[in-house]
Amino acid sequence: MSKVAIITGGGSGLGQSTALRLAEEGVNIVVVDIDEEGGNKTVEMVKKSGVEAIFIKADVSKADEVKNYVDQTVEKFGTIDYFFNNAGISGSGAYYLETDIDEIEKIVGINLMGALYGVRYVAEVMVKNGGGAIVNTASSAGVIGQDTVVTYSATKHGIVGITKSLVAEYAKDGLRVNAVAPGPTETPMVKSYFDANPKMKENAEQGIPQKRLGTPEEVAELVTFLLTSKAEYINGEVIRIDGGFTNTK
């Protein structure tokens, strides 16, 4: 029987690429996003692989909306095999002491609370059904310290904590939880920033041993590997995919 995956932030970037890659493996896809247009576009693209796909609009920072996307998925497909807990935002790039409290609360709400609510409701279904696989999206900023990203970095270090601690509790129930830690990757989020600041792009590339940004397709390949049974004995890992960037820090 076809597997079922929920992908948050599936309307763009890493979420969209992973939806397409998992669909190539015959996985049915539930795209969750706050952006209706992007979410529906991913569904249309995914369906070309012949799998079933639906879009559920949700703001992941709201627990009731997270519960709703989980309930709707179970209602439609009966179970959840894979979960890419990925929706997230970056900050303004301001230094921390110049950052508004509203911005801090917003980033924590989406990146950390959204991820915590996601695993709270999804893992409940998976454990009840005998197991499943989760990949959380951390970041380079989740494994090293960097300036101008204090709040973002706090949320991504939090993602690492979620990943390791869930395994301690629920691996015995068939749950696998891993995280990916991408370096700068050419998604729309990063591309629009670098298009406006070409010098920043050059600086970023120079700071990466492989001298280039990552691609969404490379991250999608890793996430697909970690979610599927090929990675059956990999649990609680945070896999860096950053061209050697954090390795040099």
Q: How far is the CB of 187 from ligand NAD (least distance, A)?
A: 3
Which residue do the tokens 């270090």 mark?
157
**Alpha helix locations (H) across 48-77?**
63-77
| Nearest to ligand NAD of 58, 119 (CB atom) | 58
Cβ-contact 51, 27 below 8 angstroms:
yes
Q: How far is the CB of 130 from ligand NAD (least distance, A)?
A: 28
Q: How far is the CB of 90 from ligand NAD (least distance, A)?
A: 6
Strands (E), 139-241: 175-182, 238-241
Residue type present at position 104: I
Handedness of CA 25, 29, 33, 36 (dihedral sign): positive
Interface with ligand NAD by CB under 6 A: which residues?
A: 8-9, 11-15, 33-35, 38, 58-61, 86-89, 110, 137, 139, 182, 184-185, 187-190
Among 117, 152, 193, 233, the one annotated catalytic: 152
| Nearest to ligand NAD of 170, 194 (CB atom) | 194
| Nearest to ligand NAD of 23, 190 (CB atom) | 190
Q: How far is the CB of 172 from ligand NAD (least distance, A)?
A: 28
Catalytic: 69? no
The number of beta carbons lying within 10 Å of the beta carbon of residue 117 is: 23
CA distance 125 to 147: 38
**Radius of gyration of the chain from its Cα atoms, rounded to whole angstroms:** 17
In a 3-state reduction of DSSP, which class is residue 55? strand
| Nearest to ligand NAD of 60, 125 (CB atom) | 60
Annotated active-site positions, please?
Answer: 152
